[in-house]
Amino acid sequence: MLVVGASSGVGREVARQVARAGGHVVLAARRAQALADAVDAIRTEGGKADAEPFDVTDQARCQQGVASAVATLGGLDGLVYAAGISPLVMMQRASHSEWQQVLAVNVIGASHVTAAAVETLEHDGGRAVYVGSYSVRQSLPGIGLYATSKVALDGLIEAWRMEVPNVDFTRALLGNTSGTEFANGWGAEETGRVTKLWIERGLFPAATMMPVEAAGEAIASVLALRGYIDDIAIMPRQRDASASVDPKRR
């Protein structure tokens, strides 16, 4: 399996769970040291993992990175695209470069990686899974760029299905997940301004957050299946509210 966006959060957890289940996994993202740490952690648990650092906004690097992963793995049974960024910015203030960056990582990079992997996936009967977001159903002020990119990602998945019908393209729509670096880039000032808005409108705090292990387990389980799965929704439940406070109570 190749997991893109595996240096932290959901992608890193999917890679860990795939390796725990006996799969050989290549972890990709930009941060080489974070990838090396994740690979070490998997190997320490007895799993089989390798790192392949690349930036998904560079088409040539996507091609090289996927080719190198395929060579390392000797084929490709599954691709997970978990790379994603979420700038926190109100629509009225969003700059052209913020738009370009969010679309480059969340949508266009997903297509570059798919283009590089799809022939091998088709040959090997592999599945491609894309981490989508519940924000396509319910967005929030300040995450409009992100939510728009995830709607576009849904369109991208359907476009690939139409052109390569022999590969299973799956959208894993994900709800609020804790234990990731999703909001790490949000500045304190903008976070304060936007969360005030969310609270005023009764949108925050979110009812529940799901632990990243639950999200990783659900995505890894889809990878284990053959056959067509168009869409899965992975959502926090009430019991996750306590789990996010005390993981031992899961």
Q: If binding is defined by CB under 6 A, does position 108 make contact with ligand NAP?
A: no
Q: Which of residues 161-200 bind ligand NAP (CB under 6 A)?
A: 174, 176-177, 180-182
Round to whole Å and give the CA distance between 180 and 105: 17
Burial class (CB within 10 angstroms; exposed 0-12, middle 13-18, buried 19+) of 201: exposed
Query: For the window 210-249, what string marks contact with ligand NAP as x by the rule CB under 6 A?
Result: ----------------------------------------
Q: If binding is defined by CB under 6 A, does position 131 make contact with ligand NAP?
A: yes
Min. distance of Cβ 3 from ligand NAP in angstroms?
9
Residue 127: how many CA atoms within 13 Å on its side-chain side?
19
φ, ψ of residue 219 in degrees (nearest 5): -70, -40
Contact region with ligand NAP (CB under 6 A), list: 30-38, 113-121, 217-225, 239-247: 30-38
Residue 240 near residue 210, CB atoms below 8 Å: yes
Contact region with ligand NAP (CB under 6 A), list: 53-61, 113-121, 136-144, 192-200: 53-61
Q: Which of residues 8-27 bind ligand NAP (CB under 6 A)?
A: 8-11
Strands (E), 18-74: 24-29, 48-53
Min. distance of Cβ 226 from ligand NAP in angstroms?
24
Q: Which distant-in-sequence residues (6+ apart) come within 8 Å of 60 by Cβ?
A: none
Contact region with ligand NAP (CB under 6 A), list: 7-15, 69-77, 114-122, 191-199: 7-15
- For Cα atoms 70, 72, 78, give the angle at the middle one, nearest 5 degrees: 45
H-helix or E-strand spanning residue 77: none
Binding site for ligand NAP (CB under 6 A): 5-11, 29-31, 34, 55-57, 82-85, 105, 131, 133, 174, 176-177, 180-182
